[in-house]
């Protein structure tokens, strides 16, 4: 064998070593990224649901206050007018 053949064999061996992939590391990376994004989505949905619950509670509170106020006004009007 001459020097050219040895150099080609050496380059091919180095290329073969660098061509091997770390499958376990790649799988771990993919799993971590998917977990991160899924937890972010779950967190954002939870925040959105809490905001919606607050809006519904405020709406119910406001409507019950409005009902109570209207009921009191009607009762007061009846008392003023002398109706039973």
- Its pTM stands at 0.43
pLDDT in tens, 31-77: 999 999 999 999 998 888 877 777 777 777 777 777 787 777 777 76
Cα torsion through 69, 74, 80, 81, rounded to 10: 170
Backbone torsion region of residue 22, taken as left when φ is above 0, otherwise alpha when ψ lies between -120 and 50, otherwise beta: beta
- For residue range 1-37, list pLDDT tens digits in order: 556 666 666 666 666 555 567 788 889 999 999 999 9
Structural domain boundaries of the chain?
Answer: 22-81
């Amino acid at each position: 064998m001459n020097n050219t053949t040895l150099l080609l064999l050496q380059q091919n061996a180095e290329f073969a070593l660098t061509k091997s992939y770390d499958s376990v590391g790649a799988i771990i990376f993919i799993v971590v990224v998917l977990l991160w994004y899924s937890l972010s989505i779950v967190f954002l949905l939870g925040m959105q649901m809490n905001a919606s619950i607050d809006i519904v509670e405020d709406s119910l509170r406001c409507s019950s206050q409005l009902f109570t106020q209207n009921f009191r006004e009607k009762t007061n009007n009846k008392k003023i007018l002398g109706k039973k």
